[in-house]
Structure 1
Amino acid sequence: MGRGWEPMLEQVARERYPRLVARAMLLVPSRADAEDLVQEALVATFAARARFGSVGQAEQYVRRAIVSRFVDRVRRGDRERSAVERTAARRQPSAGLDEHGLATDVEAALLALSPRVRACIVLRHLDDLSVRETASVLGLSDGAVKRYVSDGVAALNAALGTTSTDSDPVVLVPAQEVERGA
């Protein structure tokens, strides 16, 4: 008896694996750890035999599973100390872009953040999840996500010598439009 989820798993692994590893490397300091994280996320995603309508949907689910697995590792506490040691031992960033398309100084600044703050920044600003979605993925309150993101952006600005500007005007949106967009 064939398993309907296997072709989707094979397609995701074949077509999206490099992007998934690149995303995971934003959370962990080494490629080997990133590959382990992606493998754990793929197993968790497809072990549940979830059905996806497209490779894109499956990839999004795996991306969220990567962050969930990362947070689980941190919660267990067995890797945090070694992650800090690896980050400190990592060579100084050089100018230019790395294999993920991020400036290496940005990657280094991300790795200097605490794991939870880093996870919030990646989900909010790179995966473009809402505060509510980020809170759900990480098992946090909306307020905690807002605080971690705020602290993380401030730390990134300080590390990179940048500033956040609020040059765009605030636009009030009727409540029914917010509910439809959420």
Structure 2
Amino acid sequence: MSARWEAPPSFDVFIQQRHRALLRFALVLSGDPLLAEDLVQDALEHVGMRWWLIRRRDDPEGYIRRTITNRFLNNRRARRREDIVDEVPDQASVDPVPRDEALWRQLAGLPRHQRAVLVLRFFEDMTEAQVAEVLGCSVGAVKTSGSRGLAKLRAVYSQEVPK
């Protein structure tokens, strides 16, 4: 008989309270609802086994967001998950976020690091120092990536706006 791991109650509570926000974060970061679900699931699997240690930190959610971001940037997942079903559900499992399709296309066209910086800075409303901590880089690298990403978005939008 094999041992079965069960999540501690504090991890269950955390997931119940923050799962939707983590999915929304991963969706904005990746632009793909299925990839967002995979990123969150992979991060929670990774964190769940270490929850007893991670919850002692000042910011366990920050640790999970960093895990999601790193997995997005590296784009290496141990396995791809697929759910085989007889019928396609009427509705996606991730709540659709109202969005500007042109902006999403432009955001998706940015290099991954620039996109991650912009999502963390402006969607998650993090400071440059917080973004640097999540991405494991310097504040200068965050400023450079953010500036370049914004410049690319501005260039596209300045061309599209009628004068």
TM over 0.5: yes
Mapping of 1:5-16 within 5 angstroms?
6-16=8-18
Aligned residue for 1:115?
Answer: 112
Q: How many residues align?
A: 135
Give the structure 2 partner of residue 68 of structure 1. 70
**Distance in 2 separating the partners of 1:161 and 1:41:** 37
In the alignment, structure 1 residue 128 sits paired with structure 2 residue 125 = yes
One-letter identity of the residue aligned with 2:55: R
The Cα RMSD (Å) is 2.9
One-letter identity of the residue aligned with 2:35: D
- Could you tell me how far apart the structure 1 residues matched to 2:21 and 2:158 are? 28
Mapped pair 1:51 → 2:55: yes
2:27 corresponding residue in structure 1:
25
Unaligned runs of 5+ in 1: 77-97, 163-182
Q: Does 1:140 align with 2:137?
A: yes
Structure 2: distance between partners of 1:30 and 1:121: 17
**Larger RCO of the pair (alpha carbons < 8 Å, separation 6+):** 2
The two structures have a TM-score, normalised by structure 1, of 0.61
SS of residue in 1 equivalent to 2:116: helix
Q: Structure 2 unaligned runs (5+)? A: 77-94
TM-score by length of 2: 0.67
Structure 1 residues 111 and 45 mapped into 2: Cα distance closer, same or farther (>3 Å)? same
